[in-house]
Amino acid sequence: MDIDSTRQFVETVWTEKIIPALQKYLTIPNQSPLYDPNWSTNGYQNQATDLIANWIRRQNVPGLTLKVERLPGRTPLLFIEIPGDARETVLLYGHLDKQPPMDGWHEGLGPWTPVLKDGRLYGRGGADDGYSAFASLTAIQALKQQGIPHARCVIIIEACEESGSPDLPYYIEALKERIGTPSLVVCLDSGCGNYDQLWVTCSLRGLLNGVLTISTLTEGVHSGAASGIVPSTFRIMRQLLSRLENENTGEILPREFYAQIPEARVQQTAAAAQVLGESVYSEFPFQPEVSPVSRDYTQALLNRTWRPQLAITGAAGLPSLDKSGNVLRPVTAVKVSLRIPALVDAASAVAFLKHTLETNPPYGAKVTFEPEQTAYGWNAPALEPWLETSLKRASLDFFGKEACYWGEGGTIPFMAMLGEKFPRAQFVITGVL
């Protein structure tokens, strides 16, 4: 491969074709079904799907076939097939659905208003994961441009990843004959530690999401009359969460949520920590004087990737400050997000989580934990020598530095499923965030 020619080709396609397409894609508010109950009727998923499909068709890749698959009651899926020169199949994955718009955008920026500024394209969903379809096809085009033989390639772009990929297993089953048996799976929905070398994700944490609800009264009562007699639902919530977490250290207490960290992953994490240094935590927008949980770079990364961690990501039953009064509230509910290591069985873990939170509630309070999302983590199989050599060479050729391997703290729900479905496949998981 001519590296300079490849670089020039990709940069030209990126600048002249992909960025304009991404700018149009960013204007479409196609939130994932979990966040948009009207996804099946408002047409946004179809708009995003059609935009990407039409762009791919316009590239006129020889032999390429594309079909928008639509199983009844499920989000659409793009299925693209490009014939190859070898018997092997490479499966490339991405998704087109988006997370909610969120608050906190800087002035002049917004989720559905693309802004190109200082070499960065701002808007919701461009890097997670709108670019993936464009990047996958461009990589294949780069090979064809130089006449380099390649394997048969199948690209699938789903539309419900941010909801836990509930539809993907049905599509994988329905399309299994057309997919074949890939020897390599490439996923462009992960992250990177910097833009100075190739980063390969070798593990992902699982996720247990659910709503913890505590109720002590049938209706609110005056706090002056009831406090000291009626237990506070907020205090009970704190007690229940303390069953899970040491609030002083952040350590998760039940050992059922832990797994033995493979020694190879510890070594890879230490190497990544050495590369990243203080940026392991300095990348986050800390308030002045706030310190990270750990200043040990390796331990901080292991906390993020191979140890369970608790976050409360939402709440209900709490009025806004301007609408609060002297009321002892009848209900407090919080969204519990528990990240679990790759080797923990998610089904057993969520059952244990429910038991831990609901059993023997303080004061006999009415306590329920309703799981909403249970996602398995993933630990990559050992790299075959051919792939390890290829990744090393690619990173050196294009970046001048060796590839780094690390775990990601987030979850890509379908990875565990693909690992089971294709046990002999190798995996390259990477991304731009």
Asked if residue 308 lies in contact with residue 409, where contact means CB atoms within 8 angstroms, the answer is no
Give, in order, the Cα–Cα distances in Å from 235 to each of 35, 65, 197, 227: 29, 59, 48, 12
Fold classification of 206-266+292-375 is Alpha-Beta Plaits (3.30.70)
> Which 3 state secondary structure label does DSSP give 368?
strand
Q: What is the pLDDT of residue 342?
A: 97
The model's pLDDT over 162-175, given as tens digits with 9 standing for 90+, comes to: 998 999 999 999 99
CATH topology of domain 3-204+377-431: Aminopeptidase (3.40.630)
H/E element, 25: helix 19-26
CA distance 416 to 375: 9
Beta strands in 173-301, from DSSP E residues, in sequence order: 184-190, 199-204, 206-215, 221-222
Give me the pLDDT at residue 246, please: 98
Cα 389 from chain centre = 27
Residues lower than pLDDT 50 in the chain: none
Q: What is the pLDDT of residue 164?
A: 86
- How many residues are recorded in the chain? 433
User: What pTM, to 2 d.p., does this model score?
Assistant: 0.91
Query: What is the C-alpha separation between 426 and 327, in angstroms, rounded?
Result: 58
The tokens for 48 are: 């995003």
Quick one: tokens of 203? 């593990």
DSSP class per residue in 255-290: GGG--PPPHHHHHHHHHHHHHHTTHHHHTS-PPTT-
The four Cα atoms 38, 42, 43, 49 give a dihedral, to 10 degrees, of: -40
- Predicted pLDDT of residue 297: 98
The dihedral sign for the CA sequence 384, 386, 391, 393: positive
Task: Return the domain boundaries, the chain.
Answer: 3-204+377-431, 206-266+292-375
pLDDT of residue 184: 98
pLDDT tens, 381-410? 999 999 999 999 999 999 999 999 999 999
Name, in order, each residue with C-beta under 8 angstroms of 372's C-beta and a sequence gap of 6 or more: 209, 210, 211
